[in-house]
């Protein structure tokens, strides 16, 4: 009996010394445009950024992704956002084509979550006459040509295909501003882009997070707008990452 008491005491002592497994630290990366590009907080640091100080933001902690990281306890692996960039390779001013999402999608690190946040520039880009010029293109899901990748639909498909194959460990989200530049583009064009994004995301089983009523100044999310984005993103990912 005495031996049993000693044995149970030893088991209890050992159990108390065993530490519970530490929750996995979630790391996330962003492939984006000016909505996510804050000075000193992009990687590589040579990426163009938006002058957010001109619309009231005074620090990176006011950006949507910082707020999501703080809310969820996540770690930002890489913010590869480039102001003015398109998803597709269309070079509308002989500059941005080389910095498209397709040319940066291989530089996201090795995250658990990837947020792709773009398409506004594809919908709105113009060459000086205020008429949008980036073609929508056709729905193409394989054997893409260089010419097709200069149009939106094939480029988005190629992007999702690449990320699915090369980042299989990552949960992929496409963040979509449902306003998508309305006021500078026709409602018909905006709706065509929204429909295209939903269609392609569904094809690749990518979760599309539709963002509504983002407060803006000069067509960019201001302090309140960044809060709007963060809140909606946190709500959208809650079911997948309820931690």
pLDDT in tens, 155-191: 999 999 999 999 999 999 999 999 988 778 899 999 9
73 close to 58: Cβ distance less than 8 angstroms: no
Buried b (16+ CB within 10 A) or exposed e, 188-202: ebbebbbebbeebbe
What 3-state class would DSSP assign to 62? helix
Mean pLDDT, rounded, for 114-126? 95
Mean pLDDT, rounded, for 181-209? 94
Backbone angles phi, psi at 208, to 5 degrees: -100, 120
The pTM score is 0.90
Q: How confident is the model at residue 23 (pLDDT cuts 50, 70, 90)?
A: low
pLDDT at 184: 81
Q: Which of 3-12, 147-156, 180-189 has the lowest mean pLDDT?
A: 3-12
Q: How confident is the model at residue 6 (pLDDT cuts 50, 70, 90)?
A: very low
> Is it the case that residue 20 has pLDDT exceeding 70?
no
What does R_g of the chain's alpha carbons equal in angstroms? 22
69 close to 79: Cβ distance less than 8 angstroms: no
Bridge partners of 48, per DSSP, are none
> Is it the case that residue 31 has pLDDT exceeding 70?
yes
Give me the torsion for CA of 211, 213, 214, 218, rounded to 10°. Answer: 130
Q: How confident is the model at residue 112 (pLDDT cuts 50, 70, 90)?
A: very high
Please name the residues in contact with 184: beta carbons below 8 A apart, sequence gap of 6 or more. Answer: 124, 130, 219
pLDDT at 7: 42
For residue 35 the two structure tokens come to: 């909505």
Q: How confident is the model at residue 108 (pLDDT cuts 50, 70, 90)?
A: very high
Q: How confident is the model at residue 241 (pLDDT cuts 50, 70, 90)?
A: confident
State which H helix or E strand residue 120 sits in: helix 120-124
Mean pLDDT, rounded, for 25-29? 96
> Is it the case that residue 14 has pLDDT exceeding 50?
no
Q: Which of 80, 187, 53 is nearest to 132 (CA)?
A: 187
Report the chain's mean pLDDT, rounded to a whole number: 91
CATH 3.40.50.261 describes domain 32-237: no
Q: How far apart are CA 109 and CA 166, in angstroms?
A: 11
Buried b (16+ CB within 10 A) or exposed e, 12-34: eeeeeeeeeeeeeebbbbbbbbb
Q: Other C-beta atoms within 10 Å of 231: how many?
A: 15
> Is it the case that residue 5 has pLDDT exceeding 70?
no
Distances (CA, A) of 237 to 12, 179, 240: 39, 21, 5
Domain ranges within the chain, ordered by starting residue: 32-237
Burial class of residue 151, CB neighbours in 10 A (0-12, 13-18, 19+): buried
Q: Which of 19, 66, 23, 21 is nearest to 41 (CA)?
A: 66
pLDDT at 21: 58
């Amino acid at each position: 009996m005495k031996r049993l008491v000693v044995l149970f005491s030893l088991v209890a002592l050992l159990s108390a010394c065993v530490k519970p497994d530490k929750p996995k630290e979630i790391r996330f990366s962003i492939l984006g445009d000016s909505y996510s590009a804050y000075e000193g907080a992009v990687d590589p640091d040579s990426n163009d950024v938006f002058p957010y100080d001109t619309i009231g933001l005074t620090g990176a902690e006011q950006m949507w992704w910082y707020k999501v990281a703080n809310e969820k306890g996540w770690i930002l692996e890489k913010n590869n956002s480039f102001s003015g960039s398109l998803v597709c390779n269309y070079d509308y001013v002989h500059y941005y084509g080389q910095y498209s999402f397709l040319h940066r999608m291989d530089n996201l690190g090795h995250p658990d979550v990837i947020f792709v946040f773009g398409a506004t520039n594809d919908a709105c880009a113009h060459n000086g006459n205020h008429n949008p010029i980036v073609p929508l293109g056709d729905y193409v899901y394989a054997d893409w040509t260089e010419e097709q990748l200069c149009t939106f639909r094939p480029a988005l498909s190629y992007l999702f295909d690449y990320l699915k194959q090369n980042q299989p460990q990552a949960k992929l989200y496409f963040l979509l501003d449902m306003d998508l530049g309305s006021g500078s583009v026709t409602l018909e064009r905006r709706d065509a882009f929204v429909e295209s994004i939903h269609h392609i995301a569904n094809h690749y089983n990518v979760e599309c997070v539709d963002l509504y009523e983002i407060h803006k100044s000069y067509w960019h999310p201001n302090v309140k707008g960044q809060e709007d984005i963060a809140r909606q993103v946190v709500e959208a990912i809650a079911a997948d990452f309820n931690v």
